[in-house]
Amino acid sequence: MKKLITIIVFILTTSYLLYAQEETRVEWLRNFAEEQSNIWQVQRAEAESIATVMRIPVWYEYPDGSIIELQKFEYGLPVYDATNNFNAARTVSSNLVWQSGLMGFDLSGAGQILGLWEAGGYPLSNHQELTGRMVQMDAGSSVSQHATHVAGTLIASGVNNTAIGMSNGGTINYYNSSNDLSEVATAAANGLKVTNHSYGSIRGWRFDYFNDGRWAWFGDLAISEVEDWQFGFYSGSSAAWDNMLYNAPNILIVKSAGNDRNDTGPAPGGEHWALISGSWQLSNTIRNKDGGNDGFDCINDPRGIAKNTLAIGAIDDITSGYSQPSDVIMSAFSNWGPLDDGRIKPDVVANGVGLYSSSNQSSTSYASLSGTSMSSPNASGSVGLILDYQQSINPGVTLKASTIKSLIIHTADEAGSALGPDYSFGWGLMNTFNAVRLMRLNNDLGNSELIKELILNNGAQYTYQVQSNGTEPLRVTIVWTDPAGMPPSPSLNPPNIMLINDLDIRIIGPGGTYLPWILDKNNPSNPATNGDNIRDNVEQVYIGNPAAGSYTVQVSNKGTLSGVSQAFSLVLSGIGMTAPDQVSLISPTNGSANVVIDPVFEWEHSSRSYDYQIQVAEDLQFNSIVIDSTVRGITFQSPVLTGLTTFYWRVRGINSGGEGNWSSTWSFNTTLAPPASPIQLIPEDDAVNVSLDAQFIWNSTELTDSYHLQVAINSTFTALVFNDSTLTDTTQIVTDLVDGRRHYWRISAKNTSGYSPFSDSRRFVTLLAAPTDLSAVSDTLGNVTLNWVDNSQTETKYFIMRKTGTQAFEVIDSLGANSVSYNDNNVMIGSEYTYRVYCTNNFAVSDFSNESTVTVVNIDDDQHLIPNNFELYSNFPNPFNPGTNIKFAIPSESYVKLTIYNALGEVVTEIINGYLNAGLHEVYFNSKNLSSGVYFYSIDASTISESKSFHSVRKMLLIK
């Protein structure tokens, strides 16, 4: 049954190859759609039955949001539609043609319907970015992250401006991918012009196919045990798509190239699933990673392998926009050609890494995803802008899909290490602005000079005479919708050429005959050369440095054309033409006053202008030119000009025919300029030990009314400790600095025109707050106890310094943060000692505390054996781990309770609870079962006669 179905598909899809198609064959498409729908239903029912027997999934959503859905069995293998999961507008320059009008366009895709087919799920149609512009075209209710994200990339309105879609005013008709060929045929018959397909087939390796954490391999062991033969293979399905598109020349299918490249499978010899003798079994055979060691030959899907679709690869985001080929960085996953017959795929690349778009989690949620699934709507959504512009300049005139494809390829930005196409980036990075700009220039020239839709009769030759002035490259591109090829028998990398109508383009000029680009499928990493292209239905001739003179563009065909004739689209650039018309200026208006010092210059588009030259000068004769720039659009953002000055400006158009006449010269006067940024003086950059009451000093700037001083404890100035914009002096004392911290400061100047930019920030480190109220007391045991007040919030260590008599201070010990006492038991009776304390952290040091002097008492003097008063001494050591000694004095027999508390005031333990004799007592507290932190010890005592009572609390620090 499976073989019979394959034969039926081929017969049905090759029955109308004898007619060159200029217009959509509506009735044929409707019949074709019905036939394909019937075939799909039979194939799907058969596939579900086989899946039940084989215990394989029909539909499954993976944890990463990717979805697979079984469609049929082909060549004995399951065929799934699988989503290709793994600052987009700037990357493909679509933002330059949006509604801002800065480049002379005002495009949003409004009025354009984009077709969206998705595997296994639908968009969240009521998302705030999509609501009111989504039409479901088939039955189904499963909402998916992937579909919602793709829909947002296509048409999101920009409620969140970082997630704005390419055609942000367009509409989507959306479908499930099941039965997509039939549905696309019907949509084409009804006039749909562009579709997006961000899904592909499972080829080679697939991870977690059985939801067991193992790899599965989808190759056919009878053909190759190490490589999946269906990568790049032109199958009956590819032929069916090409046949449908041959009869629907106005619809462009935009297809993701897939993300298989570098899917490695398990480690060599690792266990994985493989389809062996009709059943899935575990295997340890070593197989190639997808794309092999060089990454080539891994285009995975019949739709993308078809000749007449537009396959899109994925690159990293170019946030600032394209400026040179090295800006274009290939993603780690995007599939590469060549196809088995050597054709160039992908066609072009677009942003597919980290695209931020709508998510299905809620109507206001967003997500960043990567994959060719994302690059495809980046491109197809931009096609909506091209269609929008076509309707604005030629209402009611539909561009053929081959014309849009040729425009995209012709105007793509160069990518890769060498000039010309390659099997990684295709023809380069899609550039919507370049495409639309060429359309505008063609419209200025009468709609027939640069973009042509033509028909080549069998054996005839089309010629077109053009002129080059030798100042810019001459480039000509042709694309045609080719009839379906004849699929080869299943085999590994069959070389059979799938091109049916082989058109040839040549340019004949002063330097001889110029041939189109070609690539070598057997050496896929080699740069493009020139020769006879016998494989692609896309050809391009590029002359980088043409000699001035006359050139003949020639299009012919080899052999006999199938269908008697072949429609094709031709796009060219770099030809000589009449210089542009004179430009009309818009703003700043002539004679205007108080113009800001960085104005936006604006003028009207002049016919036949491709670029513009703007000049701004300080004199009417333009001897003192301050701006001389070439720009692509009809606006120019000026750099800062001098304030209170008269300027003169003019613009002229430029094209390959030369420069047009200068516009009229207009003048304007600038307003007072904001002041220059002040220069910081004190504290100097990286200053240390800055006082907590610091003085800030900066230089004065001219034409300044006030200054804005900011001081912060982070470099982003979000944690401000001082912020005042009303300062009129060039010095300020700030008293709210944080001790022992790195600070940052900057200053700005202000006048009636505004603020200067902030100066570059400087950083400094403040002193730590010094300890105060140091006291040194000798107890009756011959020890010295130090106590002080901890004033710092950021210290990490205290240092104890001591000197004897007139000797120098020396550090005798150190303590941890938050320490407030110290016991010195390394002293001599009768000696005099002077102490001081300071603290530090990783950045700063404090000043010294006050000094305190003490003489150690004689412990043998009987009057000191019995204390006169109650006393609770500082524990030692402090901080401690695991234990510390606690001493206290009792003047007469007393009832004593000694209790330990934690920082919450909860009782940890009672060390003493009973009667004690008069004298000095010392107990040891063991904290082995406690965690680090601050603890308190408290004494409550009363004499037997209850004539005296005593209560005291001290803090101690446990650090483990």
Same domain (yes/no): 851, 751: no
At CA 422, angle to CA 419 and CA 424, rounded to 5? 125
Same domain (yes/no): 182, 115: yes
Q: How many CB atoms lie within 10 A of CB 571?
A: 25
pLDDT range class, residue 567, cuts 50, 70, 90: very high
Most confident of 73-87, 243-257, 853-867: 243-257
pLDDT range class, residue 570, cuts 50, 70, 90: very high
pLDDT range class, residue 185, cuts 50, 70, 90: very high
- Judge whether 239 and 485 are in contact, CB under 8 Å: yes
pLDDT range class, residue 858, cuts 50, 70, 90: low
Bridge-partner residues for 311, per DSSP? 255
Mean pLDDT of 77-94: 71
* CATH number of the domain encompassing residue 630: 2.60.40.10
> DSSP string spanning 416-439?
SSSSS-BTTTBT-B--HHHHHHHH
The answer to whether the Cα torsion of 862, 865, 871, 873 is positive or negative is positive
Question: What does the pLDDT look like over 666-684, one tens digit per residue?
Answer: 999 999 988 999 999 999 9
What is d(CA 436, CA 417) in angstroms, rounded to the nearest whole number?
Answer: 26
Residue ending a domain, choose from 865, 883, 911: 865
Residue ending a domain, choose from 622, 646, 670: 670
Question: What does the pLDDT look like over 168-180, one tens digit per residue?
Answer: 999 999 999 999 9
- Judge whether 597 and 670 are in contact, CB under 8 Å: yes
- Judge whether 122 and 176 are in contact, CB under 8 Å: yes
Q: Which two tokens stand for residue 695?
A: 């003085």
SS3 annotation, 490-536: CCCCCCCCCCCCCEEEEEEECCEEECCEECCCCCCCCCCEECCCCCC
* CATH number of the domain encompassing residue 904: 2.60.40.2550
Same domain (yes/no): 595, 657: yes
Q: Please give the torsion angle defined by the CA atoms of residues 749, 754, 757 and 762, in that order, rounded to the nearest 10 degrees.
A: 30
Same domain (yes/no): 846, 902: no
Q: In the predicted model, is pLDDT for residue 862 greater than 60? A: no
Q: Which two tokens stand for residue 130?
A: 């999509």
The confidence score (pLDDT) of residue 856 equals: 82
Q: Strand 666-670 and strand 646-655: pairing? A: antiparallel
When mean pLDDT is compared across 474-488, 622-636, 847-861, the lowest value belongs to 847-861
The confidence score (pLDDT) of residue 9 equals: 37
Q: In the predicted model, is pLDDT for residue 15 greater than 80? A: no
CA–CA distances in Å: residue 585 to residues 595, 603, 663, 667, 811: 16, 4, 7, 11, 78
- Judge whether 636 and 616 are in contact, CB under 8 Å: no
Q: In the predicted model, is pLDDT for residue 155 greater than 90? A: yes
What is d(CA 113, CA 109) in angstroms, rounded to the nearest whole number?
Answer: 8
Higher pLDDT among residues 929 and 35, named by residue: 35
The helix, strand and coil proportions of the chain, stated in percent and rounded to the nearest 5, come to: 15, 35, 50
Q: Strand 772-778 and strand 348-351: pairing? A: unpaired
Residue ending a domain, choose from 617, 636, 670: 670
- Percentage of the chain with pLDDT > 70? 95
Q: In the predicted model, is pLDDT for residue 410 greater than 80? A: yes
pLDDT range class, residue 863, cuts 50, 70, 90: very low
What is d(CA 766, CA 791) in angstroms, rounded to the nearest whole number?
Answer: 14
Q: Strand 77-83 and strand 67-74: pairing? A: antiparallel
Q: Which two tokens stand for residue 693?
A: 């009451």
- Total tally of structural domains belonging to the chain: 5
pLDDT range class, residue 21, cuts 50, 70, 90: low
Residue 479 lies in a domain: no
The helix or strand, by DSSP H or E, that contains position 386, with its residue range, turns out to be helix 372-393
What is d(CA 413, CA 322) in angstroms, rounded to the nearest whole number?
Answer: 8
Q: Please give the torsion angle defined by the CA atoms of residues 404, 406, 407 and 410, in that order, rounded to the nearest 10 degrees.
A: 160
- Judge whether 313 and 375 are in contact, CB under 8 Å: yes
pLDDT range class, residue 430, cuts 50, 70, 90: very high
Higher pLDDT among residues 1 and 209, named by residue: 209
Residue 554 lies in a domain: no
The confidence score (pLDDT) of residue 645 equals: 95
* CATH number of the domain encompassing residue 347: 3.40.50.200
Mean pLDDT of 489-513: 97
Q: Which two tokens stand for residue 726?
A: 């009303």
Residue 677's contacts (CB-CB under 8 Å, 6 or more residues apart) are 701, 747, 748, 749, 756, 757, 758, 759
Q: How many CB atoms lie within 10 A of CB 864?
A: 17
Q: In the predicted model, is pLDDT for residue 635 greater than 50? A: yes
Same domain (yes/no): 599, 729: no
- Judge whether 159 and 398 are in contact, CB under 8 Å: no
The confidence score (pLDDT) of residue 723 equals: 97
Closest to 115 measured CA to CA, from 192, 57, 42: 192
Residue 490 lies in a domain: no
Same domain (yes/no): 850, 873: no
Same domain (yes/no): 891, 935: yes
Longest Cα–Cα distance in the chain: 132
The confidence score (pLDDT) of residue 673 equals: 87
What is d(CA 31, CA 231) in angstroms, rounded to the nearest whole number?
Answer: 31
When mean pLDDT is compared across 104-118, 404-418, 581-595, the lowest value belongs to 104-118
Amino acid letter at 223? I
Mean pLDDT of 616-644: 95
Q: Which two tokens stand for residue 531?
A: 């020769």
Same domain (yes/no): 663, 745: no
Bridge-partner residues for 310, per DSSP? 254
pLDDT range class, residue 341, cuts 50, 70, 90: very high
Q: In the predicted model, is pLDDT for residue 752 greater than 60? A: yes
Q: Report the side by side order of strands in the sheet with 59-61.
A: 59-61, 67-74, 77-83, 199-200
Q: In the predicted model, is pLDDT for residue 373 greater than 60? A: yes
What is d(CA 551, CA 658) in angstroms, rounded to the nearest whole number?
Answer: 18
Q: Strand 762-766 and strand 687-690: pairing? A: parallel
Higher pLDDT among residues 130 and 105, named by residue: 130
Bridge-partner residues for 616, per DSSP? 627, 649
When mean pLDDT is compared across 93-97, 242-246, 507-511, 937-941, the lowest value belongs to 93-97
- Length in residues, the chain: 960
Residue 219 lies in a domain: no
The confidence score (pLDDT) of residue 101 equals: 57
pLDDT range class, residue 826, cuts 50, 70, 90: confident
- Judge whether 538 and 409 are in contact, CB under 8 Å: yes
Residue 320 lies in a domain: yes
Question: What does the pLDDT look like over 282-335, one tens digit per residue?
Answer: 999 999 999 999 999 999 999 999 999 999 999 988 888 888 999 999 988 999
Residue 292 lies in a domain: yes
Question: What does the pLDDT look like over 689-740, one tens digit per residue?
Answer: 899 999 999 999 988 999 999 999 999 999 999 999 999 999 999 998 988 8
């009363």: which residue's tokens? 942
Same domain (yes/no): 231, 365: yes
Residue 695 phi, psi (nearest 5): -100, 130
The confidence score (pLDDT) of residue 922 equals: 80
What is d(CA 490, CA 351) in angstroms, rounded to the nearest whole number?
Answer: 34
What is d(CA 352, CA 83) in angstroms, rounded to the nearest whole number?
Answer: 14
Q: Please give the torsion angle defined by the CA atoms of residues 39, 193, 172 and 435, in that order, rounded to the nearest 10 degrees.
A: 140
pLDDT range class, residue 62, cuts 50, 70, 90: confident
**Structural domain of 712:** 680-766
Return the SS3 of 218.
Answer: coil
> DSSP string spanning 139-179?
S---B-HHHHHHHHHHH---SSGGG--TTTT-EEEEEESTT
- Judge whether 953 and 936 are in contact, CB under 8 Å: yes
Same domain (yes/no): 645, 721: no
Same domain (yes/no): 242, 362: yes
What is d(CA 343, CA 427) in angstroms, rounded to the nearest whole number?
Answer: 12
Q: Strand 883-890 and strand 894-902: pairing? A: unpaired
Q: Strand 538-543 and strand 474-479: pairing? A: antiparallel
Q: Report the side by side order of strands in the sheet with 797-804.
A: 810-816, 797-804, 832-840, 852-855
The confidence score (pLDDT) of residue 83 equals: 82
The confidence score (pLDDT) of residue 16 equals: 32
> DSSP string spanning 318-333?
-TT---SGGG--B-SS
SS3 annotation, 711-729: EECCCCCCCEEEEEEEECC
Amino acid letter at 836? R
pLDDT, the chain, mean: 91
- Judge whether 93 and 103 are in contact, CB under 8 Å: no
Same domain (yes/no): 305, 235: yes
Residue 659 lies in a domain: yes
Residue 748 lies in a domain: yes
